Structure 1
């Protein structure tokens, strides 16, 4: 697999899914090595591949990268999805980190004992804290920052799709965001990624949860 981008993670969404999205939009082909056994994780630890003993881990350009935000920022920089200057980049990062905070709330739901209560909290925060920010930003804009496609746009699309899986009609009062979502899904690479059989992962199921617990010996949160 020399020269290829290689993703080391579970066969599920988690924090790797945003990386899959960004690579897809950048039109970068990648292969995946799925962690299904504890021994695979221990091998990555023993050969020094995991700086902080965590996945996701991405092999790219001769490096083994960990930490989701660092990986996303590297891909965004490399493939011109990080704005034209430092001011654009900090705006993109602010939007992106907010979206990642919201998506992480959804990611950890399968590991929660109070999923109904947490669902209500997520819906409230999405409607009152997060979606209004993007609705305002998209009032007279095609993209969030600098008039061009960026990492923040990709994460916003991913996040809105995740929200709609949990809360039908949640974008009803956010017309600008819904219109943005429609435009983004017409991008050829994204259109293909949304089709059945693509490298996009489905919502987590019992199989995935069992693998995460067995491989990492943890229960909460999802890595």
Structure 2
């Protein structure tokens, strides 16, 4: 197996985008092998590499890894983005999972039937403003990082989800000054600044083509 890190996924964000973000912050270069047909996905399944017949799949350190949280924790642990002890890791996981809850809702929006989309967006905005963002705002009131005194994968998760929320609700951070300051600090990190530029491996918001591809490839799951 090549020493390169290789990502296998649809051409789009989905659950792979958080992995792209964390690898970028860790300074790890990666290449991607996209698939867009049932046949290509089935070939991955038949290879035995997809333990639970699910992607993301990444090749790294001589392993083929699946399950998003396991992959993220491995990367964070390897590149010193996972705190200094178990107590810090507990809080890092807590904040990262809180961000994941919102990300999952955001990822579901493009797949929502048109007649339910506005209510789905309203629910998402309310949950973010009332339940999630206040917790991060408080955590950042006395520190530039969510946990401890150094950057962690939780900070990367918050940064990613805050950007995603702003794409849907441009003024959503207007009443959260600590998160706004946090965003500014994160954007100043060279690797992040580069990833935010056009032409990077960052994927755009999901459009109709991405939704159709996912629905077609995974149609067996929607029956």
Per the normalisation by structure 1, the TM-score is 0.96
1:24 aligns with 2:24: yes
**Separation in 1, partners of 2:78, 2:135:** 27
**1:25-104 residue pairs with structure 2 within 5 A?**
25-104=25-104
TM superposition outliers: structure 1 runs of 4+ over 6 Å: none
Structure-2 residue corresponding to 1:160: 162
Are 1:195 and 2:210 an aligned pair?
no
Distance 1:219 1:117, change over 3 A: farther
1:131 maps to 2:133: yes
Q: Work out the CA distance in 2 between the residues paired with 1:147 and 1:174.
A: 21
Distance 1:219 1:63 in 2: 27
Deviations 1:160-207 (A, max 9, x none): 000000001100110000100010000000000000010000000111
Q: Distance in 2 between matches of 1:89 and 1:115?
A: 36
May I ask how many residue pairs the two structures share in their alignment? Answer: 220
Look up the match of 1:141.
143
CA distance in 2, matches of 1:92, 1:4: 28
CA contact (8 A) 1:212 1:218 kept: no
CA distance in 1, matches of 2:171, 2:182: 15
Partner-residue secondary structure (3-state), 1:40: helix
**Secondary structure of residue in 2 paired with 1:170:** coil
Q: Distance in 2 between matches of 1:40 and 1:80?
A: 35
Unpaired segments ≥5 residues, structure 1: none
Q: Distance in 2 between matches of 1:63 and 1:214?
A: 29
CA deviation map 1:141-178 (0-9, x unaligned): 01111110000000100010000000011001100001
Q: CA RMSD in A?
A: 1.0
Q: Whole-Å Cα distance in 2 between the matches of residues 169 and 42 of structure 1? A: 42
Displacement of 1:218 in angstroms is: 5.1
Contact 1:4/1:60, CA 8 A, preserved across alignment: yes
Deviation at 1:219, TM superposition (A): 7.1
- SS class of match (1:55): coil
Query: Gaps (5+ residues) in structure 2?
Result: none
CA displacement, residues 72-101 of structure 1 (integer Å, 9 cap, x when unaligned):
000000100000011111110010011001
Q: TM-score, normalising length from structure 2?
A: 0.96
